[in-house]
Amino acid sequence: MFSIIVPSYNRHHELPPLLASLSQQTDQRFEVIIVDDHSQQAVEITQDYGFAVTIIRNTTNQGAAESRNIGANHANYDWLLFLDDDDRFAEEKCAELAKTIAEKPEVNFIYHPAKCIMVNEQFDYMTKPYANIQDIHLDNILRANKIGGMPMLAIKKSFFIEIAGLSSTLRSLEDYEFVLKAISHPQFSPAYVDKALTVCTFHTQRQSVSTNTTHTEQAITEIEQQYVKTPAQKQAFQLNALYMLAHPRMMNLSRSAAKYYWKMFMLSKNIKHALIALVIFISPQLAINLKRFI
């Protein structure tokens, strides 16, 4: 029923615990497709599981977006799930999604909240997607991605192919652009599951998180050109763009994130943005910890 696609690059040690976690799914009607994005050490899986595991090795490094597309093209089932190698699915995820599909056979896109664990700060919080699917329209999602990234989505394979998958030209914000493209398509038919079916882990000051936002800036420009059409959309997206530029600096506990929130305040005159800027300037770690209360 489901093809679970896992892109992997130089993190082969993450895959055995990921596969072990998937063996705890209460509904095991799925396959796992690992796309090894030309890692220095080729991915090998020697253990047998109660589900099929296929490894596809890219001959050159393609990036996470194109690796997901490659995995989708090799999928044998009607529905696609996407899992990063350091995230996990709740044990009932496949069962809950199967139930939703049985109850609403017309849907081609399912989304749900996630539990986010801040590893270094030792707390977790829940994402808050739009629970009412009527709220999912371009103006709202340009303001903020209140749907989620690829690990929080299930997409019917035929719909994924119809909208040409993820953009392989973007090196940042690929998940966000995919959501914008999906909701803009006339065949978009969503359903919401009000349960946190994915657990995502985040590490502040991780080496892989860079404050070089060149790719993010390029992606913001491309997204604006493609999707922003009205003055109201432009204003909403300007605020969101500043947030997306602030985020990697926040994750690096850099006070430079404060300037983006101050710019947000100057645009919106929303006192909340000024207060966040002040908190970041005092202590980026304190600002991160406030996520558990907001």
Please write down the HEC assignment for all residues of 16-45: HHHHHHHCCCCCCCEEEEEEECCCCCCCCC
Neighbouring C-beta atoms of residue 78, cutoff 10 Å: 13
Which of 3, 202, 173, 180 has its CA nearest to residue 83?
A: 3
Which of 190, 107, 177 has its CA nearest to residue 145?
A: 177
Per-residue pLDDT, 253: 93
DSSP 77: S
pTM of the model: 0.94
Per-residue pLDDT, 292: 75
Tens digits of per-residue pLDDT, 267-289? 999 999 999 999 999 999 999 98
DSSP 256: T
Residue with structure tokens 């990063």?
Answer: 84
User: For the chain, how many residues are written?
Assistant: 294
Tens digits of per-residue pLDDT, 69-78? 999 999 999 9
* Average confidence score pLDDT of the chain: 94
Q: To 10 degrees, what angle do helices 231-251 and 214-227 make?
A: 160
Q: Looking at this protein, which amino acid is placed at residue 107?
A: V
Q: Judging by DSSP bridges, how do beta strands 123-126 and 114-118 pair with one another?
A: antiparallel
Mean pLDDT across 245-260 = 94
pLDDT(209) > 90? no
**Residues with Cβ within 8 Å of residue 72, at least 6 apart in sequence:** 3, 5, 80, 157, 160, 161, 165
Mean pLDDT across 230-251 = 95
**pLDDT bracket for residue 195 (50, 70, 90):** very high
Identify whether the C-beta of residue 118 lies closer than 8 Å to the C-beta of residue 127: no
Mean pLDDT across 29-44 = 95
CA end-to-end span of the chain, whole Å? Answer: 37
Per-residue pLDDT, 288: 92
On the 0-12 / 13-18 / 19+ scale of CB atoms within 10 A, 230 is exposed
d(CA 54, CA 71): 10
d(CA 70, CA 79): 15
